[in-house]
Amino acid sequence: MTGSVQPKKGKWYIRLSYKNKHTKWTQKWISTGYDVKGNKRNAEAMIPELIEKHKHLEYGQAEEATDKKILFVKAMKQWLDSKENKVERSTYEGLTIYVNKHIIPYFEKLKLNLDEVTPKHIKDYYEYKFRGGRSVRQ
């Protein structure tokens, strides 16, 4: 994703350019609210923050994540869908099997939103897989 400032209607706008889920270049225009005269640096300073805020648009990743919370397993499915035409068929099939048979069943029980997943959750998942993917009797 790239960003640039452009004058439009007497104000500075930031034009974000990114590839959508169909890998076609798309643009999003965002008003900075700054008048064109004497404010170009202020407008340019907003670019990194807006790129970070809108990075979910690139390749159609987790589009609804901006407005509401999204479950981790749904985000994993969206990520998997985004890889279908970007990797070799055999790689995609392997990813599909692993995500659907291992990652999703484990995290589905936890019902975590994407923003709630912590490094401890990932560590616990690895420990679970290390033990053979089964619960350990105490």
Domains of the chain, residue spans: 2-60, 68-130
Which own/partner contact pairs does 73-76 have at CB distance under 8 Å and 24+ positions apart? 73/103, 73/104, 73/107, 73/108, 75/114, 76/103, 76/104, 76/107
Q: Which pLDDT value is given to residue 104?
A: 94
The mean pLDDT of the chain is: 85
27 pLDDT more than 90: no
pLDDT confidence bin for 97, thresholds 50/70/90: very high
Q: Which pLDDT value is given to residue 137?
A: 42
